[in-house]
Every structure is written in structure tokens, then in C-alpha cells.
Amino acid sequence: MEAVSINENSWYFSGAVGRAFLFKGEKAALLVDSTNGPGDLRGEIRKLIGDFPVILVNTHADSDHIGCNDQFETALMHPGEFAYYAAKRKEGYAVPAPLFEGDTIDLGKRTFEPILVPGHTGGSIVLLNRRERFLVGGDTVLQRVFIFGPQRNLRALIASLKKLQEQYLDAFDFIFTAHQDLRLDKSFIAKELAGAEALLAGRLTPEDAGGIPLEPPEFRPASRYTLGESGFFYYTEPDH
């Protein structure tokens, strides 16, 4: 797992499925998610910044975001995610610690604010850097959002997208995402919101999921849905 440079003090790492981000400030560095590996994420970080302190934040507790949590001692996340993390946590994984909306992660001349955005999971967060004008979007602002099965709630996702749109849109210009395109313009949030509302209203047609395994035994069958650039994996037969 190799670091890819974004700018002088920012990098991302690509795991088998998703990305983690590293942002270095003057006194600490922030690692957003730990990917699902494989590899020595901690070692790669050390190559970049030596033994500089690293604060790990998980945007949510899906396996592709916490897979290298065994390489860290503490993982900050919203308490709304604690129960899901407890269910997904493997031996040696970092101990969860609470991160609330209203908190500020101060790295020294570089700060990030968590914003609670339930939907993809109950305690999902995005992280806002006001000075550099970007969001780290986790799996909430994405071109293809998983929104079926345990933890997911489409109505909550819609409310969270409205919250970003109405309360925060002036504070950032683009989103770093965990999957698909690395960066999305903030105008994508309106497109995803329109897609999610159309999906909830039953206006989108189920499409073939394109080989993505959507039928583990505990799930109802799911399909892919798209509206313009926004896409979702959601129940084939939704209960409207």
C-alpha cells in the first residue's frame, strides 16, 4: 500500500477497496480511515512522517474503512458508530473513542470538524477543513452509495445531504471521496440528493448490479439505480 501525494502535507493510500487520507499539521497528523489493507499502513505513514503523532478517525465502521485499525491504539469515531464498530471489530483493533459534532481536531495550523451524516451508517461522519475548503466524504458523498441492508437508511441519507447542502455548502469547494473518483465538486451533493429523493419516490428503475455481490443471506436482493452522475445500491423491491 503506497502513499500518493496530494500536496506537500496531504496523501492518500489505496486499499483493495477504498482510500485512506493522511493530513499533516504542525503538531500531529490526521489519518482518515485505515482501508481494508492489505499491507503495513503504519509503516507507510512512518516512511512519510517518521514518528510524528497520528490521530486515527474512522468515518464509519464498514470493513473497508477499519481494516488496518489493528495498527493503531485508538480510533476516534462518532458514538453513534460504537455499536457497529463493536460488531465489526477484530482482535487487536484500536479502542474506540468518542468524536462529537462540535469538536475540532486541531493538528496545529490545520483543523478538521466532524459533521454527523447518518444514512450509509448510523454514526457516519464527514470531516470539514474550512481553511482549505474541502470535505472528506467517507461513503456518504459518493458516485455510488450503498444504502441497503443493515445500518443503512435512505431517509437519513437524504436528511444528511440536505444538512450539508443547507448548512455547510458555503464552507467548502470539493470533496475527497473514499471510492471511485478521488475528488468531487461540491455541486455533486445536489445531484446525489436529487438521485436519493428520486430513489425514495420510486422514480428510478432497478438495473443489474454489475457483478457486485448484493445478496448475502441476511439481505434482501438489491439492484443498482442511477440518476445522471449519482448512483445507489438499494433494494430491488423497496418498501415505499
What is the C-alpha to C-alpha distance for residues 165 and 48, in angstroms, rounded to an integer?
A: 35
Contacting residues toward Zn ion, per CB under 5 A: 18, 64, 139, 178
To the nearest whole angstrom, how small is the minimum distance from the Cβ of residue 68 to Zn ion? Answer: 14
Nearer to Zn ion, 18 or 96 (CB): 18
To the nearest whole angstrom, how small is the minimum distance from the Cβ of residue 136 to Zn ion? Answer: 12
Task: Find out whether 113 and 103 touch, Cβ atoms under 8 Å.
Answer: yes
Return the H-helix or E-strand segment holding 85. helix 82-88
Instruction: Name the one residue in this structure whose C-alpha cell is 517518521.
Output: 50
Q: In a 3-state reduction of DSSP, which class is residue 46?
A: helix
Nearer to Zn ion, 107 or 115 (CB): 115
Which residues on adjacent β-strands are paired with residue 153? none
Nearer to Zn ion, 99 or 178 (CB): 178
Nearer to Zn ion, 24 or 143 (CB): 143
To the nearest whole angstrom, how small is the minimum distance from the Cβ of residue 33 to Zn ion? Answer: 8
To the nearest whole angstrom, how small is the minimum distance from the Cβ of residue 18 to Zn ion? Answer: 4
Task: Find out whether 66 and 47 touch, Cβ atoms under 8 Å.
Answer: no
Task: Find out whether 35 and 82 touch, Cβ atoms under 8 Å.
Answer: no
